[in-house]
Structures are given as structure tokens and as C-alpha cells.
Amino acid sequence: MRFLQAYPKEVKVFLIASLINATGSALMWPLVTMYVFDELGRSMKDAGIVLLVQSLGGIAGQLLGGSLYHKVGVNRLIVGALAMNALTLFALPWASGSWSIFIIVMGLMGLFNSLSLPAIQAFIGFRFAEQRGELFNIIYVSNNIGVALGTALSGFLGNYMLSFVLNGVTSAVFAGFFFVYLRKVGTAPPHEKAQKKHPQGEASGWKLLGHTRIYLYMAIGSMFLLIGNSIWNTGVSPFIISEGWSKQLYGFLWTLNGVLIFAAQPLVSLIKRWFAETPSSQMTASAVFYLGGYAVILFMPSYPGMLLAMVLATLGEMLISPAMPSFISEHAQHSAPFYLGLSGGIGAVGRVIGPYLMGIQFDRGGLAPTGWLACGMAVLSVGFFAVHAYINRSAAGTRRNTA
């Protein structure tokens, strides 16, 4: 990784640890549905309930993690959340004996896993303020390398419990890493170590909620995108099966997604340089690419169409994933953890309700209704991101005129 040579050793160590943690997390998530259906002998409806509970726990974790950042402290919050996540993973073999306990443990897993996410993003935004935009993108790429490795290993291991335990081990190792790492490097930017620039008082959550321009329109746009993106699992996947195509063709779509995240970085850099320089414009451009992908699925319901749609959707993913935490870290300053958790929680609602809405549409008429729904969601997303960009551009102009 020659591109990492420009970064200090503490950044490289953090990226390696993130890669290991992402690999461990990816060992489990492809197996949850299969484990419930195959090992526990439950229905697919029950598997859906488990995923729903886990997702709801994740939303609660995002909201709670952002609110607790300054109250609990970054070290205790991140280390504690990762350690508790590891304990829930180690508890899965015991919890599987009771369906009710298993659901509760899966909900707690979603909670603790997401509890650390806004805290880690805020830490990056605070500690590496001058390079935050680049680092959010590099970490996004690194995590996707981990996901690719983890999903490949999960199939190779072929053992549910071993995969769950290894996930717990990587989470525990990541907790230990952060315990040592944060004590060594601190949380403030190097030029601020000698002076504490954050205010002592913390604004109330209700007061922070009033600053809607920072998070609301962006978060709602993200929510609509995630609803539309459910078309892959609850539209494209059953369509491929119903057409009698090989299931491997669906897996290849995600292989293409992973390859593009690495190979298309120069193209995304050009897109940013030409017409999407700011995080706000990158979000809008992302929604346009997603819209293009969904339109291709709708009007070209063939496998070449699916490949082209995945290319467009992946470009959209690559634009938005680093842009949202970068914007919040830059504009929210001391309150960034709260807004990172809040926007992440609102956006995750789309991941919860999307499969249900797409499933209804697919049952009614196959792929076409899901394509129309996805396109409609993307159009709404473009609108909300455009409003977000306009409001923040106007606010910036007002501040310059009054300065």
C-alpha cells in the first residue's frame, strides 16, 4: 500500500486494526439468516425478525453512541462498546438454546456494534482534522477489503459457531487495541495537545436537534437511498432465482462491487475534481449515480443491465460513504459525535424498512415495481441532498457577509 507512505505510523496502525476488525465482522453477517434457518430450524420469517431486531439495536446504538461521546469519554465508550460486543458474540452458543434469549442477544449485538461507530468516526475527525476527508475514504476502502476477506473466510470455515467466536475475538482484540492506542496518541489533533479548545459545557440534545441544516436533510436523503438500495436483496436476488439463472451470478455482482471499490478510486477522484469537490456536492452526485443504477435495473432487466447498475450504484456508494462523516466533522466541530450518531440512526431506518417495502412490491409484480420504488426513493434522495447543499451554501454565504 504505497499510498499510505504519506501518513504517520499512528494512522497506518489504526488502518491495519480496522482491517482486522472488519474482517472479523464480515465472518458473521452473511451467516445469520442461514444459521437461523439451517441450524436453529426456524422459518425465513423468523430469520427476518432476527435481522429486524438486530437493525433496531443498531439504530439505538448509533443514537446513543453519538450522545455519550463527551459524557463518557472516547476511550471508555469505544473500548466498552467493543468489549460488550465481543461478550455478546461469545454468548451466542449459549443463547441459541432459547429462541427468546437468542433474539435478545442479537439485539444487544446490534446495539453494542453500532455504539462505537459514531465514536470512532468522531475520533478520526477530531484527531486527524487536517486529513479527515482522505482518511474517511481510506478507512472505507480498508473496511471493504476486510469485508471481502471475511465473507470469503466465512465460506471456507463452514462452521457457524467458529465464525461467531472468531468475530468475538477480533472485536475483543480491537477493544484492546483502542485501549492502548488512545492512551498513546490521545484524541486531540497534535497542534492542540497543549491546549484544550473544546468548551467545557455541553449543549443539550434538544438544542442540538434544532440545528437541522447540519444533519436532517442529509440524513433523510441517506434514509431514502438505503430504502432504494434494498432492491439488490429483495428485488434483484429473487428475480435471478425466478429466472432460473445461477445463484453465482448474484454473488458475482457483489464481487464486482468489491473490485470497483479499489479499482475505481482514480475515477472517483476525477469525479470529485470535476464536479463534486465538496462533501455536499458528493452526496448529491452519489444519489444521481444510484438513480442511474436503479433506472438501468428498471429498463434493462437483464444480466448485463444488472452489471451496469452495480457499476453505477458502487460509484454512488464510493462518493457518499466518506462524504457524510467528513461534512459533519467539519461543520459540527465539538458536537460532531452527536450528529454522527443521529444521522447514522436516521439513515439506518431505511435499512430496516427497505426490505419490507421492496418485498411487498416484488410480490405484487416482480422486478419492475421494485425498480420504480427504488427510482422514486433515489429522486427523493437527490432532492434532499440538493436542499442540504443549498441551505449550507446559503449559511456559509451569510457568515461571510457578516464577517
Give the pLDDT confidence score for residue 26 in this predicted structure.
66
Burial grade of 176 (CB within 10 A; 0-12, 13-18, 19 or more):
middle
Interatomic CA distance for residues 320 and 303, integer angstroms: 26
368 in Cβ contact with 358 (< 8 Å): no
pLDDT confidence of residue 396:
57
pLDDT digits (tens, 9 = 90+) for 43-57: 767 877 887 888 889
Helix/strand/coil for 264: coil
Contact between 314 and 25 (Cβ < 8 Å) = no
Q: Give the pLDDT mean for 55-66.
A: 87
Per-residue cell: 181: 492506542
pTM of the model: 0.79
Whether pLDDT at 148 is above 90? no
Structure confidence by residue, pLDDT tens digits, 12-24: 777 777 777 777 6
Calpha distance 165→27 (Å, rounded): 10
Q: Which of 323, 79, 83 is nearest to 187 (CA)?
A: 79
Contact 297, 312 (CB under 8 A): no
What is d(CA 291, CA 296) in angstroms, rounded to the nearest whole number? 9
pLDDT exceeds 80 at position 324: yes
Position 194 scores a pLDDT of 38
Confidence of residue 204 (pLDDT cuts 50, 70, 90): low
60 exposure class (CB count in 10 Å sphere: 0-12, 13-18, 19+): middle
CB 144 within 8 A of CB 89: no
Query: What are the helix (H) ranges across 73-98?
Result: 74-95
Mean pLDDT in residue range 163-173? 86
CB atoms within 10 A of CB 100: 8
Between 45 and 183, the more confident residue is: 183
Most confident of 93-97, 101-105, 290-294: 290-294
Residues 249-307: pLDDT tens digits? 887 888 888 889 888 989 999 999 988 889 999 999 999 999 999 999 999 999 999 99
Q: Of residues 84 and 250, which shows the higher confidence score?
A: 84
Averaged pLDDT score across all residues of the chain: 82
Mean pLDDT, rounded, for 66-79: 84
Domains and CATH numbers, the chain: 9-187 (1.20.1250.20), 207-396 (1.20.1250.20)
Cβ-based neighbours of 20, under 8 Å, separated by 6 or more? 146, 170, 173, 174
* Section 205-234 average pLDDT: 88
Question: CA 72 to CA 79: how far, in whole Å?
Answer: 11
Q: Given this model, what pLDDT does residue 198 score? A: 47
Residue pair 36/42 in contact by the 8 Å Cβ criterion: yes
